[in-house]
A and B are shown apart, each in its own frame.
Chain A
Amino acid sequence: MIKIYRLIFVLVFPMLCFSQKDELLNSHTIPSALRENANAVVRWDDSYIEVKATNKMAHTNKRIVTILNSSGNSKVDAFLGYDKGVSIKKMEARIYNAHGKEIKRIKRNDFEDVSAVDGGTLYSDSRVKYLKYTPTDYPYTVLFETEVEYSYTAYIRRWMPIEGFSTSTEYSRYAFRYDPSNELNKSETNFEEFGVVNQSKPGEIHYEANNLKAIVYEAYSPNLKDITPYAMLNLKNFSYEGYVGNSNDWEGLGKWMHEQLLIGRTQVSEKTKNEIMNLVAGLDHPIDKAKVVYQYVQNNTRYISVQEGIGGIQPIDALKVDEVKYGDCKGLTNYTKALLDLVGVESYYTRVYASPNNLVDINKDFASFLGQSNHVILNLPYEGTNIWLECTSQTSPFGYNANFTDDRNVFVIRPDGGEIVRTKVYTAEENLLDTKANIVLTEEGDIEAKINLNSYGTQYGYHEGIQNRTLKDQTLHYKDYWNYISNVDILLMKYSNDKDMIRFTEDIELTAKKYASKTGDRLLLSPNFFNVLSKVPTRYRDRKLPFQIARGYHDTDEYVISIPENFEIEALQNDVLIENKFGKYSYSITKNDDHTLMFKRSFILNKGDYTKEDYENFRNFYLEVVKQDQSRIILIKKS
């Protein structure tokens, strides 16, 4: 029965492709709904993947994309990444003009072939073949056909029929065939909302999607793959670079990885061992020891990325890091772990998807060896909590992982099994920027100010970098930071970086001419000297997408303002307090005595996921804050 079915499948499959193809090459046949907001239309994308053995998988893809304008060019996506585990059987592209007439044919050897090394990597054996084509006219259509054979099954191409913003999809199909005795793990999200047809059965996965309209990017949009159809598949028995795995839950996968890739790679030289033992001598507390080890790693190693073969997955031996004193995230994490092992502090190698802006999770319910992480950190369990060490940074404070690996599900690998754990969440309260200032105002409206900024949490990360810049850049930085103040002269810049407290302090002294504007006997002055919110979220006449604030923060300001002797207050602003689900804002300016005013401000932005209907309110909140932040008071010359 199975055999007959297979025959039908094979026969039917290509026929379907060809009967539809011709009209799809003509751009005039694009349904108008799919042209709306689109720079490119995926007319047809058909993937057929077949697992032939644990170490053999074939992927055939046919794809027709119409590019409507030059912003859509990146959606041609006619490329193949490869390394020695990939053999390209077929790779061909044809270009058609708007009417579907073939104008160019690109054969396998005509594709550009370049190293796939990114800027941060010294060496990698991955390469990419891609189509370099200069469009002569729009729209044009690209037919791209590939047949690839992989010598591994550890990563199965994902399905994401809406390929990007401003890209619509007319038809997308994804079929995957495997031996049903090999257990398959699936993650299928947002299928129903987009009318995905799922005709999967044991041994065969089959998805189809039709007429998916283009989605336009909007500010604060969540990741596209979180709100559109997305499927991931993983086989229980898989292979990679000669390694054979047999688990599709995180626990088993962790155990397997520990035994196959991590174990026995934590030896270090006698010399290093002695150095470490000397450094921790007399220390009892595990955290104290860990801090010493972390400091040692920061002082003695640096980040250099080299990705070769299984080295793309397996850390280089701690002994090798010990010798050359560099490594990538895997190597440096493993090395730190090796040293912590020596001093008896428990720690675990942890895979994570690191990203500074969006928070990206590893899927708790979908275990896969590859494809969900791009970085490695070290987990230190301590009294029921977790400390996370970023081992590639030579400067990060111990346990600081804000703005990179915070607040997300990560995969902790322990000898007895792996586990998905959430990393530290930096709350709005923790992400504090506290600005205090003493300001002296002259009759001419000039100011002289002493400012003290203390930043914590995520804001520590935004601020501390300034200390390593050149004096010239530092000066320019403050002129930019307070760009709404003209005629600034920076007189003093002093920093202190408290890595134990994870607090960065900036002491700045400056003068600014004509800060307050003088009209007749009056001085107009904005009492919010040093923390003005000026950017309002983009306005959408018709917001389409929900929105997300990935990280909250809290700013507090307190300024003491001395006004000239011969001036008095004519008009002050009333106190303002705004509170809603997005945050809280307060503003007050009060008279301390005849010559001093006190300004206080606090702004809290909450992290959260919000509906599109909320967006207008969110924007209005900002508008009110922006307006209030710029409001001014009037001082008048005593008569």
Chain B
Amino acid sequence: MKKITYLLIVLAFNWTYAQDYRFGKVSKDELQETVYPGDPEANAAVLYLNQKTYYNFMQNEGFVQVTEVYKRIKIYNKDGYDWATEEIQLRDAGSKGESVSNLKAVTYTLENGKIEETKLKKDGIFDEKNNKYWKTSKFTMPNIKDGCVIEFEYKIISPYISIGDINLQYGIPIKELDMYVRIPEFYNFNRYVNPRAVYIPKINESQVNRTEEIRSKSREAGGVSATTFSSRKWEFRENKTEIKLSNIPALRSESFVSNLNTYRTKLIWEYAFSKDPGGQITNYASTWDDVTKTIFNDKDFGAQLNQTNYFEQDVSALIDGVTNDSEKIKLIYNFVKSKVKWNDYNGYTTDNGVRKAYKDGVGNVADINLMLTAMLRYAKINANPMLISTRSNDIPLFPATGSFNYVVAAVEVLNDVIILDATDKYATPNVLPVRAINWQGRIIRESGSSAWFDLKPKEVVKENTFLSAKINDDLSIEGKVRGYMTSFAAKNFRSKYQNFNAEEKLMAIEKDKGEIEVSNYEITDMENVDNPIIYVYDYNLKSGIEQIGDKVFLTPMLFFAPKENPFKQDKREYPIDFVYSFNDKYTINVMIPDGYMVESMPESSVVQFQENAGEFKYIAKLNGKMLQFLVTMDINQSFILPTEYTNFRQFYQLMTEKQTEKVVLKKI
């Protein structure tokens, strides 16, 4: 008897704890929960997410892609109310569009200990046409209160064979996730997990049999007209990808992360090829050879590269008599930059076509850079297109055209590649707009071969500053500054100040430098991007010296000293990306005023981060009446991993402290 009681208790116990995730079976426990156990700071949590993608067989249309979504979301507090609104993006290109059906949505609240249900009504659902290609179906749940639970489910029917991305991680935690994708053997997809994701899911793969009945109708010819209905069984296999996960952490943003989505756990699907029941294969992409072939056969890509007659005359004149390859490259590159402007659209295929872009002077990325490639080839330069996926896109993972959204021109020279992007006025060879510097690019050669190329800039960006300072009797400081910038630093400078008039430039240089007055400010080579930026100015600084009693304090780096260490977090989830390596150097001379002597000055020191990954040198010298400082900062590793962060932060901290150290002068 005792045993039976025990057994009963165990059963009952299990019963209450085995959560029922069928639609409508929201429990009181779920409603009473006030915080998410694994993450008390979550404002809401997905209690259950069920997502299925499969292909229905329709007698007349063949396979139709269906995606079913079912979510149960708990809302803990007011900051979680945004999760009560669902927005479904749908493709909508003219006659061919995706649609939402079977929408059912209920809000559950606890009223005096009783579960109350409020259904979403039609007038809470809105359809919005965003532009030519997309529309959005939106709804927001009724009766949202702190602690409520909402459930909704819907189907997306799509005429396209296209799965895209399936997000497995949200901005709030997901307690249980259940998803599968079932694909008939006739369709073949490449599938990857975002490799930058911190949370890695476990994936199960299997094959299942499926049978469809095909009905047909035939009429006998001649004699008595008779219609025969027949049906036959059609057996085929399906590839099933299944994921069951519990307690997926929330994806939360962090400083110095430009696109949080980069780190989201998700499945990325690319349609590779189809094989009809007869065995006939149609390739979309699956190997790099296929990709190359697909791309070159694309009328908006390969064909664009082969057109030359529209520019022949102009380019011939441009490079007439020039024999040096690098000179030719420079001429053609600058020609395209000035001839065709970027219309802000990405793409590795042309929009209007190179010919029209050339004529109109405007085009998308492919219009411009394929034209550039074609011109370089015409000039007998070994140029090829290089496919890129921009930072805002994702990283290109697999041999597939869709993972790219950008193209540049690449010139292969001895052991190296020169990358050219003519969409940015201030870009130079190998100094691309930051949007295009993402992971690796794929060179697609004329011969049909292709290869990865690391896009991380190899050149160290230099910024040199010479600062002279003389302390006046009234303790103001006057002196000169001369600056020198190369590569990305020069590019950024040009982009930022291109439209500033003289007055605005002056104000910009004076900004955040304290009580300063700048004069004789001159910038050399604002427009000639082949040269570095050099600037000079005179300054008079009133707020550079602090006087306490008979002592005078000053920071030798003056307004160039950092105000704070930008890295304040104790630890990080995601890497820090500086994009490029850099070398900053300050050469400083401070003249000690008459009647003063040095009481103390900062000592020379060297700080390193992981041996050569970063080095900071501070050299201080007193040379008669002249204080001399040489401060250099080398960041040779532009990508800092979370595991390296603590050391890196410490390195920055020491660097910041050293640069703000003071010289103390005493009245003689």
Binding site for B on A (CB under 8 A): 37, 39, 69-71, 103-104, 112-115, 117, 122-123, 132, 134-137, 299-300, 302, 304, 306, 323-326, 394-395, 468, 470-472, 475-476, 479-480, 483-484, 486-487, 514, 517, 519-520, 524, 536, 538-541, 570-571, 623, 627, 630-634
Determine which of A70, A325, A539, A540 lies in contact with B142 in the assembled complex, contact meaning CB atoms within 8 Å. A325
Nearest A residue to B345 by beta-carbon distance?
A134
A323 to B499, CA, bound (A): 54
- Segment with Cβ contacts to A, from B370-378, B432-440, B562-570: B562-570
Contact B126–A123 (Cβ < 8 Å): yes
Q: Which of B532-574 contact A (CB under 8 A)?
A: 543, 546, 548-549, 551, 553, 563-565, 568-570
Contact A476–B138 (Cβ < 8 Å): no
Contact B563–A484 (Cβ < 8 Å): yes
Contact B142–A323 (Cβ < 8 Å): yes
Contact B140–A326 (Cβ < 8 Å): yes
Contact B342–A134 (Cβ < 8 Å): yes
Contact A135–B600 (Cβ < 8 Å): no
Contact A122–B144 (Cβ < 8 Å): no
State how many angstroms separate the Cβ of A219 from the closest Cβ of chain B.
10
B78 at the A interface (CB under 8 A): yes
State how many angstroms separate the Cβ of B58 from the closest Cβ of chain A.
32
With A114-B130, A134-B341, A634-B548 in contact, do A71 and B499 touch (Cβ < 8 Å)? Answer: yes
Interface bits B643-667 vs A (CB < 8 Å: 1, else 0) = 0000000000100110001101000
Contact A122–B126 (Cβ < 8 Å): yes
Q: Which chain A positions have C-beta within 8 A of B563?
A: 483-484
Determine which of B79, B142, B515, B662 lies in contact with A324 in the assembled complex, contact meaning CB atoms within 8 Å. B142
A570 to B599, CA, bound (A): 17
State how many angstroms separate the Cβ of A627 from the closest Cβ of chain B.
7
Q: Which chain A positions have C-beta within 8 A of B85?
A: 122, 304
B259 at the A interface (CB under 8 A): no
B61 at the A interface (CB under 8 A): no
Nearest A residue to B549 by beta-carbon distance?
A571
Q: Which of B194-215 contact A (CB under 8 A)?
A: none
B145 at the A interface (CB under 8 A): yes
Determine which of A132, A135, A302, A479 lies in contact with B341 in the assembled complex, contact meaning CB atoms within 8 Å. A135
Determine which of B145, B499, B570, B657 lies in contact with A486 in the assembled complex, contact meaning CB atoms within 8 Å. B657
8 A–B contact pairs at CB < 8 A? A484-B564, A514-B657, A517-B662, A519-B664, A520-B600, A632-B548, A633-B548, A634-B549
Nearest A residue to B656 by beta-carbon distance?
A486
Contact B546–A632 (Cβ < 8 Å): yes
Nearest B residue to A300 by beta-carbon distance?
B145
A326 to B543, CA, bound (A): 54
Contact B255–A470 (Cβ < 8 Å): no
Contact A471–B568 (Cβ < 8 Å): no
Of A37, A137, A324, A475, chain B has the most CB atoms within 10 Å of the CB of A324
Contact A486–B344 (Cβ < 8 Å): no
Contact B140–A136 (Cβ < 8 Å): no
With A112-B131, A134-B362, A484-B563 in contact, do A37 and B549 touch (Cβ < 8 Å)? Answer: no
B501 at the A interface (CB under 8 A): yes
A436 to B143, CA, bound (A): 43
Contact B548–A476 (Cβ < 8 Å): no
Contact A538–B549 (Cβ < 8 Å): no
With A134-B362, A486-B657 in contact, do A468 and B79 touch (Cβ < 8 Å)? Answer: yes
Contact B144–A302 (Cβ < 8 Å): yes
Nearest A residue to B339 by beta-carbon distance?
A136
B361 at the A interface (CB under 8 A): yes
State how many angstroms separate the Cβ of B285 from the closest Cβ of chain A.
30
B330 at the A interface (CB under 8 A): no
Q: Which chain B positions have C-beta within 8 A of A538?
A: 507, 511
With A115-B129, A134-B341, A302-B81 in contact, do A524 and B41 touch (Cβ < 8 Å)? Answer: no
State how many angstroms separate the Cβ of A120 from the closest Cβ of chain B.
11
A125 to B124, CA, bound (A): 14
A539 to B498, CA, bound (A): 22
Q: Which chain A positions have C-beta within 8 A of B276?
A: none
Number of interface residues of B (CB under 8 A): 60
Q: Which chain B positions have C-beta within 8 A of A627?
A: 543
Contact B138–A541 (Cβ < 8 Å): no
Contact B515–A304 (Cβ < 8 Å): no
Contact A326–B144 (Cβ < 8 Å): yes
Contact B564–A123 (Cβ < 8 Å): no
With A114-B130, A136-B360 in contact, do A524 and B548 touch (Cβ < 8 Å)? Answer: yes
State how many angstroms separate the Cβ of B88 from the closest Cβ of chain A.
13
B343 at the A interface (CB under 8 A): yes
B235 at the A interface (CB under 8 A): no
Nearest B residue to A117 by beta-carbon distance?
B128
A308 to B664, CA, bound (A): 69
Q: Which chain B positions have C-beta within 8 A of A135?
A: 341
With A325-B143, A524-B548 in contact, do A37 and B78 touch (Cβ < 8 Å)? Answer: no
Of A484, A486, A517, chain B has the most CB atoms within 10 Å of the CB of A486
Contact A137–B131 (Cβ < 8 Å): no
10 closest Cβ pairs, A-B complex: A136-B361, A134-B343, A123-B126, A324-B142, A479-B568, A71-B499, A69-B499, A571-B549, A136-B341, A325-B143
B176 at the A interface (CB under 8 A): no
Determine which of A37, A325, A570, A630 lies in contact with B144 in the assembled complex, contact meaning CB atoms within 8 Å. A325
State how many angstroms separate the Cβ of A11 from the closest Cβ of chain B.
38
Contact A134–B79 (Cβ < 8 Å): no
Contact B144–A471 (Cβ < 8 Å): no
Q: Which of B130-189 contact A (CB under 8 A)?
A: 130-131, 138, 140, 142-146
With A136-B361, A517-B662 in contact, do A122 and B548 touch (Cβ < 8 Å)? Answer: no
A524 to B564, CA, bound (A): 19
B503 at the A interface (CB under 8 A): yes
State how many angstroms separate the Cβ of A222 from the closest Cβ of chain B.
20
A326 to B49, CA, bound (A): 25
Q: Which chain A positions have C-beta within 8 A of B84?
A: 302
A571 to B252, CA, bound (A): 49
Nearest B residue to A303 by beta-carbon distance?
B81
Q: Which chain A positions have C-beta within 8 A of B510?
A: 539
Q: Which chain B positions have C-beta within 8 A of A304?
A: 85, 140
State how many angstroms separate the Cβ of A321 from the closest Cβ of chain B.
10
Determine which of A103, A299, A541, A632 lies in contact with B145 in the assembled complex, contact meaning CB atoms within 8 Å. A299
B47 at the A interface (CB under 8 A): no
Contact B144–A631 (Cβ < 8 Å): no
Determine which of B361, B511, B653 lies in contact with A137 in the assembled complex, contact meaning CB atoms within 8 Å. B361
B268 at the A interface (CB under 8 A): no
B340 at the A interface (CB under 8 A): yes
Contact B131–A113 (Cβ < 8 Å): yes
State how many angstroms separate the Cβ of B601 from the closest Cβ of chain A.
10
- In addition to A123-B128, A486-B564, 19 A-B residue pairs with Cβ atoms within 8 Å of each other are A70-B499, A104-B360, A115-B130, A134-B342, A134-B343, A136-B360, A299-B146, A394-B78, A472-B569, A476-B255, A484-B563, A486-B656, A519-B662, A524-B548, A538-B507, A571-B549, A623-B543, A630-B546, A633-B548
Q: Which of B269-283 contact A (CB under 8 A)?
A: none
A39 to B499, CA, bound (A): 8
With A70-B499, A134-B343, A302-B81 in contact, do A486 and B144 touch (Cβ < 8 Å)? Answer: no
Determine which of B78, B252, B553 lies in contact with A470 in the assembled complex, contact meaning CB atoms within 8 Å. B252
Nearest B residue to A298 by beta-carbon distance?
B78
Interface bits B417-430 vs A (CB < 8 Å: 1, else 0) = 00000000000000
A436 to B131, CA, bound (A): 55
Contact B144–A623 (Cβ < 8 Å): no
With A483-B563, A519-B664 in contact, do A136 and B569 touch (Cβ < 8 Å)? Answer: no
A487 to B567, CA, bound (A): 11
With A37-B501, A134-B341, A519-B600 in contact, do A570 and B568 touch (Cβ < 8 Å)? Answer: no
A517 to B599, CA, bound (A): 15
A299 to B565, CA, bound (A): 42
Q: Which chain A positions have C-beta within 8 A of B41?
A: 470-471
Contact B138–A123 (Cβ < 8 Å): yes
Contact B142–A570 (Cβ < 8 Å): no
State how many angstroms separate the Cβ of A638 from the closest Cβ of chain B.
18
Contact B340–A136 (Cβ < 8 Å): yes
State how many angstroms separate the Cβ of B494 from the closest Cβ of chain A.
12
